[in-house]
Structures are given as C-alpha cells and as structure tokens.
Amino acid sequence: GDLPGVLAARALRRPAIAVGHGLVFYCCARPPELPADRWRREALKAGISTLGAHRRVAVSFVPLPLRRGRLARPTLEHAAATPRTPDGPLLCYFRDGAPRELLVRLAALDAPVILFSTRDPGIPGIEHHAPSRARFLEVQRSARAVVATAGSQLMSECVATGTPLLALHAPDDDEQALNVALLRRAGLGDGCPLPELDDARLRRFLARPAAPPLAWDAPDVAAVVLEEVHALLGGAR
C-alpha cells in the first residue's frame, strides 16, 4: 500500500489495492477518546501514500467504524491461534532494542523472562533467544504476559489469543501511541510511552487478570484482498 507501488501500478496502467494497518487511520472514524492530532497526522500519511489506489483495505486488531474502503482483521498463523497454556515466562520483544535499565527491571520481577533480540544483553535473569518466528510463537502460547513495542501484528496476536500485553512506544511515535490507545480503549491490554513506565505500573499490569480473546467476526485480510482482486478483474463495483 505504499506510494511507490501505487505509482508503479499507475505507470503500468494496472489497478492497485492498498493494504495495511496504517490505513485504519484513513479509512476508519476516530474514536472520540483518541488524540485528534496524532490520528490526523497518521490519516494524512496513509492517504498520501495510497493516493491513486483503486481499493483500500484497512487491517485492524479491534473493531472500528468504517468511513471508506474495507476493514479486515489480520491473518493469524495457525500456531498463533492455538489454545494458550499461560503458566510460562514473561515474553519480551522490542523492535528497536530495549534500554538496559528496563531489562534489568524486568529481570528483577518474580517471573522468568525470555527476550527475543538480535543481541544478548547479558543480564542475569534474562533468557536470550535469537529472532525465530517459530520459536517466538511457541513461547507466546505459554507466556504469562508480553511486554513489547506497540507494533500492530504482535498486538493482533495477543488480542486474538487473550495474551496480556503491555505495549510500549517512543513518545513521538504517533502510530504506536494510537495502537496503545486503541488497545486500552478496548480493555485488551495496557501501555504507555517507554519513559513513563515505572515499577508500580509494571506490577499492576502483571497483577491484572487476562482479558478473554477478542470475539470479532471481521473477515480475514487475505479473503478481503481476494474479493477486491476479483472485483477489479471483473470490473465490478
């Protein structure tokens, strides 16, 4: 759904379908509790980057009122949708790496901690794993909770499986801040800017009972894209 792909399709005189989580902010109505300035900036980015697309498919991890385009839920791998046995470790993943001070605090908790990252921080109490999708899903199924950056794919998996999630973001990251606001609004997890996380909030999060998996009958994004492809090829709509 980015602009180069749309422009390439236009140059080749081919229809384009824009697909992505960022389109939520362009295609869906903003819940009144969410910050208007952040939503407006993300909507503008998504609108510009998909300018000229014939179809837009917004991928969301929570239900939202639709203003334009189509709304779908993410495709979840079979391993991510299997039943959980939530008596295992605290699972951690940080897209851009985690501050050492945060990892030390996590290691001090009364729970085993598994960190997936490219670099071993060498902190006692932190079990390091190199990035591996299969191993990550295996650990996630048994994780007591997840502490991670507020990316939409991992949030989708946690929401769908009922895995408690504490989602963190940089103060100036509009998209991830909105992701956290959507998560909290739905009562499906907690989160905050990384500098605002203190021990009290961390312990409150771990003490909260897990929310049940989100029951949402939105179509799978793969099915929606296929429908849109058929519609474009058939000249429908």
Q: Where do the structural domains in the chain lie, given as residue ranges?
A: 3-73+216-234, 78-207
CATH topology of domain 78-207: Rossmann fold (3.40.50)
Mean pLDDT of 75-102: 81
- CB neighbours of 6 closer than 8 A, spacing ≥ 6? 16, 18, 49, 50, 51, 52, 53
What pLDDT was estimated at residue 28? 98
Give the predicted TM-score (pTM) of the model.
0.90
The band of 77, judged by pLDDT with boundaries at 50, 70 and 90, is low
Beta bridge partners of 72: 59
**Mean pLDDT of all residues belonging to the chain:** 91
* pLDDT number for residue 111: 87
